Structure 1
Amino acid sequence: MSSIPPEDIDTTGHAGLLIGSRWSPPADPTWVAVIAHGYGEHIGRYQWVADRLTSDGAVVYAHDHAGHGRSEGESVLIEDFEPVIDDLHLLVERAQAENPTLPVVLIGHSMGGMIAARYTQRHADAVAATVLSGPVLGSWEPTALADLDEIPPTPIDPTTLSREEDIGRAYQEDELVWHGDFKRPTLRALATTLENVTAGGRLGVPTIWLHGQDDQLVPIDPSRAGWEHIAPEGAPAKAYPGARHEIFNETNREEVLDDVLAFVHEHI
């Protein structure tokens, strides 16, 4: 499978310029994918995912959230996630304007899964389906750090990302990844958003929940409990034995993307 480099796109978001990417398929697109990345990372880490999606006929849009990657804003500082959802809506609206006849599928990983769930609650009319990958839902243990007088060093252990050793190594060496500590306002905003998602009702579009069973970064049980509050009636869910947090970068990533595409084609 050949790799298609993205075009840079930008939008003015709530905290400044949002730098994003658009990947176009080799032939006329048949659907649109919008990706929401996770905490501390950036959309450049999703090239392989974009390759799979474009080879399936998707035109793929994504941007670095405020304070992440190449976008403006203080690093990993998010005091309220509702403006981040507003930023994402600007991207979805752009994707719709440029592809007015095509269905849009939202794909969110980790913190981006939480963002995607909240987005779907607020803008169910904007997407045809939603995919949640290792989403932060229900509760997340690191948010308790916000109550400490001093937040201890909290670098993400790269071995929790994938059984594929190169993934952790590349993550450690990536200068666009945040390798510092959590910020108190961000932790509090995460906790508030998790409560809002849980209270926000069942998602109004077809949605699938996918998770690694050995995920130590976003443990499966709290996420599954949160999913049960918002899952549409009869919504599919799948856990992958042995898989860690980044299931799109895991040793069984082909299986995971096969499952994503099978779900997408069932609903577009």
Structure 2
Amino acid sequence: MAAMPFFDGHSGRVHYRHWSAVGGPVVQLVFLHGMGQHTGHYHRFARGLTPAGIGVWGIDQAGHGLSEGDHPGTVAQLAEDAALVTRLAEQHAPDVPRVLMGHSLGAAVSMELLLRGDSGFRRAILCGTPKTAAVQQTADALGSLEIPLLAVHGVDDRMAPIDPVRDWAAGIAGLELREFDDAGHDLLHEKVHAAVTAVVRDFVLGAARP
């Protein structure tokens, strides 16, 4: 049995997973999970992408899953770990475009990583964006990135109510908000998961087109 892959992160060893694209990658997706989750929760999601030529990379964020750490740490620290798995994805297929996606806490970390300006992502997806991250400062900064952005959100999300997210998204140039009826916060684990995965898949594949 192959050893489980880890790298050294800000709070100790960080576990990561790579779901290989069928036939080789045309795009690589770096995925960051939410609070209380880990990459093992996302096998179904990854299986919905890999047949389309999308390689998926993810980490157990610090303090989650198989990664070390008593608590997650700051968003900035988590972004450092996310940058390291992004580097692994780049080394694996240096000429293949990369897309970033984060859910909830992972969405906040994704924004932090994007706004550092050196990540090389062609597109980004924010899922269940938390209200603490859906603020004017991030709207202004994201609008300056000049890359396509997609936000997916459940209309019935109680952890991150959609109305403030609608207002926030409306102020970001280049961002499309896709709303899902009868869905709450954890879109990829609700009854709409297949529809969300299809929207994500189509958006990610757009990074492979000229």
Give the TM-score of the pair, scaled to structure 1: 0.70
- The equivalent of 1:83 in structure 2 is 77
CA spacing shift, 1:139–1:262, aligned 2, 3 Å: closer
**Amino-acid identity (%):** 28
Farther off after superposition, 93-102 or 218-227: 218-227
Matched, 1:67 2:63: yes
- Asked whether 1:239 is paired with 2:192, we answer no
Determine if contact 1:7/1:23 at 8 Å carries over to the other structure. no
Q: Do structure 1's residue 132 and structure 2's residue 126 form an aligned pair?
A: yes
Confirm or deny that 1:202 pairs with 2:143: yes
Paired residues of 1:67 and 1:77 also in contact (CA < 8 A):
yes
Amino acid at match of 2:90: Q
Matching residue within 13, 18, 24 for 1:22 = 18
**Quick one: which amino acid aligns to residue 199 of structure 2?**
D
Distance 1:224 1:56, change over 3 A: same
Which amino acid in structure 1 is aligned with residue 150 of structure 2? I
Shift in CA distance, 138/223, structure 1 to aligned 2, threshold 3 Å: farther
Q: Indicate how the Cα distance of structure 1 residues 137 and 128 shifts in structure 2: closer, same or farther if over 3 A, else same.
A: farther
**Matched position secondary structure for 1:236:** strand
- How far has the Cα of 1:260 moved from its partner? 1.1
Instruction: Give TM-score scaled by structure 2 length.
Output: 0.88
Tell me which structure has the larger Cα radius of gyration: 1
Letter in 2 for 1:243: A
Matches within 5 A, 1:207-226: 207-226=149-168
Cα shift at 1:138: 4.5
Of Structure 1 and Structure 2, the greater strand share is in: 2
Determine whether 1:98 maps to 2:92.
yes
How far apart in 2 are the matches of 1:139 and 1:12? 27
Q: Residue 25 of structure 1: CA displacement?
A: 2.2
Are the counterparts in 1 of residues 98 and 207 from structure 2 also a CA contact under 8 Å? no
Gaps in structure 1 of 5+ consecutive residues? 1-5, 141-193
Q: Which residue of 2 aligns with 1:52?
A: 48
Deviations 1:121-178 (A, max 9, x none): 11355101101111114468xxxxxxxxxxxxxxxxxxxxxxxxxxxxxxxxxxxxxx
8 A contact 2:61–2:72 mirrored in 1: no
More helix by share: 1
Superposed CA RMSD: 2.2
Q: Which residue, 250, 264, 268 being the options, matches 2:190?
A: 250
With over 3 angstroms needed to count, the CA separation of the structure-2 counterparts of 1:196 and 1:7, relative to structure 1, is farther
